[in-house]
Copies of this chain bind each other. A is one copy, B any other.
Amino acid sequence: MEWEKPPPPPQQGEDFNGGGGGIFVKVMTDEQMEDLRKQIAVYATICEQLVELHKSLTSQNDLAGVRYGNPYCDPLITSGAHKITGRQRWTPTPMQLQYLEHLFDQGNGTPSKQKIKEITTELAQHGQISETNVYNWFQNRRARSKRKQQAAPTANNVDSEVETEVESPNEKTKKPEESQPPRILCSRTEDLCFQSSQGIDSLIGKMELPGNYDPYIHQDDFMA
């Protein structure tokens, strides 16, 4: 589902802003742009799928005329709402990695703020990197290191899985105080099992949106 090649690397030189010229404009960060694009794409996709779903369900007789001459964006549909964002993620260079590992081995736990700043500055000598990257790296490194260690009690101690517990063991999320009536409204979207099930549920699950827009606006304007 990848495009072809990884994202166009350098990614520069082009400015597609149509003219923006000397006009009063707003500037968005890539982050914001991503959010917007993501959201729109997600909605667009969802709407289409909903419509399709609806049609296939309602038109049991006249679906004869369902001709698709229109290649939708399958790549997107099948894989959910990602992909649309051509986001790239940081990847440590060998040198950076080496340094990071080195620090990690020194035992000191999470470097913490100030330290991170220093490290970042240091590593920046070897390539793009940000404090966040460093921070995340340590977080992940530690977490995974711990998990691995924990999952290595070789031999015995095979308490196997006691799961069977489908709903949260310590359902802290739910308080007896507010048991809601049998509402049929999207019963959680926890199961993000897309792929085969074109059910509404899976679609709803994709409606995540990060933004801060104000979707709660005047439905009347459009839904009148």
Contact = CB atoms under 8 A, between A and B. Distances in A.
A58 interface: yes
A217 B57 CA distance: 26
Contact of A46 (B3, B33, B39, B47): B47
Given A52-B192, A85-B180, A192-B52, A94 B223 contact: no
B29 A15 contact: yes
A12 B8 contact: no
A55 B197 contact: yes
B91 A190 contact: yes
Interface residues of A, number: 159
Contact of A9 (B3, B167, B201): B3
A92 B154 CA distance: 23
A207 B94 contact: yes
Contacts of A95: 6, 186, 207
B26 A28 contact: yes
